[in-house]
Amino acid sequence: MGRRSSRRGWNSTLVGAALGVTLLATGASVWTAQAGAADGPSPEAAAPATPAGDMRPTAVTIAHASDAGTRGVNITIDDGPDPRWTPQVLDVLREYGVKATFCMVGPQAQAHPDLVKKVVAAGHRLCDHSVSHDTTMDKKSEAYQSQQILDAERMITKASGGVRPMYYRAPGGAFTPYSRKLAASRGMRPLGWNVDSKDFERPGTDTIVATVERELPNGPTLLFHDAGGDRTQTVEALRRVLPQLKEQGYTFGFPVR
């Protein structure tokens, strides 16, 4: 649903990391979705990686649905990678056989390319989460939005060894028509969420689990974090939520493309 998060102080740790403005590539194809078709085209075959240079037509609308169908759930992990917490999240996902989408902040990916490669090698997908995690991006110039999105894309792709992000998630849901079109022109589907676990606030594992259970009827895309502070509660919540969802008959997929 892409509602705005309250995490406005987070980007202060990344200010100054932004590089020069990257020019928008011309001639890229954008898929114009019909009004109201929030989930865009039919999902394509799931692929864990998109090689550099693979520019497929991509919908500009914000994705929420799962390619796993009506009982599908998408696990999305934001703000990393982090050398302490990302490996623990990967361990839990591996334990339960779940694939996730990791929405990475550019400088974090640049600082920890080994972790980006581990994410890809495990069959998870990459998502561009900007350079500075600026939740006021929608109030900034198009040139600034371009720099934030395209520099992060470049950092993540380089760190991964050539695997491109398949999605773009605006920090705090601060999408604009321009940023969505720009992301789509680069083959990155704008990605929202339906269930905000509120794990970023560290309310306690029980509360995180209860929030997921309460909000799951809102839709299939769940939001968690693997950076930005102590993520012990997130790891433990995932350890409880993943098997519970399986017991309830849910399957795990990726956001529609």
Can you list the positions of beta strands (E) in 210-250? 221-225
Burial of 34 (0-12, 13-18, 19+ CB in 10 A): exposed
Q: Which of 64, 112, 133, 225 is catalytic?
A: 225
The pairing of beta strand 72-78 with beta strand 189-190: unpaired
Q: Which of 64, 67, 78, 112 is catalytic?
A: 78
Residue 225: active-site member = yes
For residue 51, the tally of other CB atoms under 10 A from its CB is 11
Enumerate residues 6+ apart whose C-beta is below 8 A from 87.
115, 118
Q: Mark whether 124 is an active-site residue.
A: no
Within 10 angstroms of residue 87's Cβ, the number of other Cβ atoms is 14
Residue 109 makes CB contacts below 8 A (sequence gap 6+) with: 81, 116, 152, 155, 156, 159, 160
Which residues does the annotation mark as catalytic?
78, 225
